[in-house]
Copies of this chain bind each other. A is one copy, B any other.
Amino acid sequence: MSLLNETHDPALRSWVASANHADTDFPIQNLPFAIFRRKGGSERFRGGVAIGDQIVDLAAVAAAGVFDGPAAAAVQAAAQEKLNALMALGQPAWSALRLALSRALREGAAGQPRLQACLVPQAAAQYEVPARIGDYTDFYTSVHHATNIGRLFRPDNPLLPNYKWVPIGYHGRASSIGVSGQAFRRPLGQSMPPGAAQPAFGPCKRLDIELELGVFIGPGNAQGEPVDIARAEEHVFGICLLNDWSARDIQAWEYQPLGPFLSKSFATTISPWIVTLEALAPYRVPFQRPAEDPQPLPYLDSAANREGGALDIQLQVDLRTARMREAAQAPATICRTSYRHAYWTVAQMVAHHTVNGCNLQPGDLFGSGTLSGPTLDQAGALIELTAGGKQPLALPGGEQRTFLEDGDSVVIRGWCEKPGAARIGFGSCEGTVLPALPTPQR
């Protein structure tokens, strides 16, 4: 069964002219969801779908009664202040809304005048975290990242024996997740300087990024009822960009034996736009595990997962320093990679997370873990790119970086492209480091 349908046809064009530009992230084949409102007012937030440089205001679409049937029910759910209700509806409802929007936005569509009245320019919009995130789980799905960082934290034991069997994950902090544009203070905390007799307290000195994707959960499962891998993707609404900011010095001192805590919980930034699994269907690729590696246990294995469980999403990290910003200089690209290198798929994450009976809920978020690729220039964290801070990155304009400095902004971008399919993108996920608070002298 093909996962492709008329909404993926690369020949489709929209009457929204900007959606037909070759380099747009948001052609008619994409149709990602966000929560937005017009900037500078007191409008309530509601769901929107990106088309070119515009947003289809789903509250306006719902109020105007543009659609009927399952698409109307879906657009009512999407008109709320968070996308949880839409996420809970499930794949048939999402598909119905996607098809209705695709048909209404096509060149020559009869519904053009009614939908035109529902457009808001993206340039006039502000965004919010798109769901009430009940629980946030961060995985560790890049074997390259696990090996690179393991070598720094445990030189004699980089890749632990469980890695190729267990999709390692841990619970993250939901309250401090913000949307692109988030600025946060450099965290204060404890670290143990090399050779010191007691820990130091003060601003983090090794502030890092983690290039990740975020996976939003759709319908949940009842407590005690695992999700079979064959049905795992029915529980996935879509994918966004995610930066898991990390305080490496705090992490090294605190993480044993219960894992990272304050080194991560100060901020996590996600993109406003969630690209649905359906939009990503043309970019499915086989999930290839090296023949010499153990094959997944049965609960983590399925033919569909092997044949098309991975996604070829191109990823890029740009760094813009304060000096670059002042000089109106282009940011420096510090990493390029693809999600196809991940060792565990989205379906495997869902099947593993629920195998013990843990209940997922609509709006839950998974992080993929840092998506470092096989070579070091494909690494998704500064700690890898700079060999633990020993080899600074040279930046244009004579600057260099080991870890982040105050005023640095990091921008993650993601997109999919290949011959025979429409290019689709994720927009961007940007965050900025503010100076730390003064260290208290009490």
- CB-defined contacts of A441 to chain B, threshold 8 Å: 298
Residue A218 lies at the interface, judged by CB distance under 8 Å to chain B:
no
Residue A359 lies at the interface, judged by CB distance under 8 Å to chain B:
yes
Say how far A116's CB is from chain B's closest CB, in angstroms: 39
Contact B442 A357 (CB under 8 A): no
Per the 8 Å Cβ criterion, residues 241-266 of A in contact with B are: 247, 250, 253-263, 265-266
Interface size on A, residues (CB 8 A): 74
Query: A150-B257, A257-B150, A262-B358 are contacts. A188–B226 as well, Cβ < 8 Å?
Result: yes
Say how far A21's CB is from chain B's closest CB, in angstroms: 37
Q: Which of A258, A294, A434 has the most CB of B within 10 A?
A: A258
Contact B258 A260 (CB under 8 A): yes
Contact B256 A258 (CB under 8 A): no
Residue A364 lies at the interface, judged by CB distance under 8 Å to chain B:
yes
Distance between Cα atoms of A266 and B225 in the complex (Å): 10
Residue A340 lies at the interface, judged by CB distance under 8 Å to chain B:
no
Residue A235 lies at the interface, judged by CB distance under 8 Å to chain B:
no
Contact A257 B259 (CB under 8 A): yes
Contact A356 B188 (CB under 8 A): yes
Distance between Cα atoms of A187 and B134 in the complex (Å): 22
A-B contact pairs, 25 of them (CB 8 A): A154-B257, A162-B199, A165-B190, A166-B199, A168-B254, A169-B258, A170-B171, A171-B261, A171-B265, A173-B358, A176-B357, A178-B223, A185-B357, A187-B355, A188-B226, A188-B299, A188-B356, A226-B440, A228-B440, A258-B260, A262-B353, A265-B353, A266-B357, A299-B442, A357-B437
